[in-house]
Chains A and B, each alone.
Chain A
Amino acid sequence: MADGDEIVLDSRLDEIRRLGPWLAAALSPEVGEAAIATLELVLVELVSNTIRHGHAGEAGHSIHLRLERLEKRRVQVQIQDRASPIPTEILNRSGELPALDAADLQALPESGLGIAMVQASVDRMDFRTASDGSNLTTIEMTLEGRQEL
């Protein structure tokens, strides 16, 4: 994989489908399909959250992603955008997945699982907003279930 692979997406939900092929091109065949799929899920959740909430579904805004290999088993992805930042109470509230009870049908969540699924998958997530209004989300993840890089 080349150091510092990058992609720029437009803030449209169909653009999230470019993430899987981008990751596969950067990480295959050294990284297994299952690990790439988990990383894709994490990025799809973060980017679609930015598009739906940060940009209120409005197209025409750029979202930059940069993938870097930190060491053999770990990668870092940085996502930069100029959307409205995720409210900190949502980031804090979503730390744990809810306990689900199939018998309590109406309590099952129909939305809001995305950030919790991200936090359950990554080693580290950091979110900061710069003084110029741009947001930088950084995740670090250990890629399991794969061949040696």
Chain B
Amino acid sequence: MVRFEQAEPGIVVVTFDEQRIDAANSPALRKELVSLIEAGTSQLVLNMHEVRFIDSSGLGMVVTLLKRAGMRGGVALCAMQAPVAATFRLARMDRVFPMHADVPSALASLR
């Protein structure tokens, strides 16, 4: 469902192997990624390259991760496809989550 890569000390790159993040799978994804934060990772890059569709439960999951990571941590999103970026804009979440072009630029934003 997701792949993790320790890119740098304290920063994990999460790649979604799913074309959709919706009400059918976001509870399981939320649980898995919150576990990662509880295990000590406070900075996440979410690589959205494969994701073609996200709904409000998927957006809620991303907000949960940002809250759990806390003010000292961070969540950076990258490689968003156009329909996914449109949903972030519709919910005004683009004001909260800057959209980075790729993993290196998302990593740079967290340093």
Residues of A bordering B, CB below 8 Å: 13-14, 16-17, 20, 33-34, 37-38, 40-41, 44-45, 48, 51-52, 97-100, 102, 105-106, 108-111, 113-114, 116-117, 120-121
Q: A34, B82: Cβ atoms under 8 Å?
A: yes
Q: Is the CB of B55 within 8 A of A105?
A: no
Give chain B's interface residues, CB within 8 Å of chain A.
Answer: 20, 22-24, 53, 55-57, 59-60, 63-64, 66-67, 70-71, 82-83, 86-87, 90-93, 95-96
Cross-chain pair count, CB within 8 angstroms: 77
Tell me if B92 and A97 are in contact (CB < 8 A). Answer: yes
Select A113's contact among B59, B64, B83, B95, beta carbons within 8 Å: B59
Q: Which residues of the partner chain A approach B63 to less than 8 Å between Cβ atoms?
A: 108-110
How far is B60's CA from A106's CA once the two chains are assembled, in angstroms? 13
CB pairs A–B below 8 angstroms (28 shown): A13-B23, A14-B24, A16-B22, A17-B22, A17-B24, A34-B83, A37-B53, A38-B86, A41-B53, A41-B55, A44-B22, A44-B23, A45-B56, A48-B22, A100-B95, A102-B96, A105-B67, A108-B96, A110-B64, A111-B60, A113-B59, A113-B60, A114-B55, A114-B56, A116-B91, A117-B56, A117-B90, A120-B90
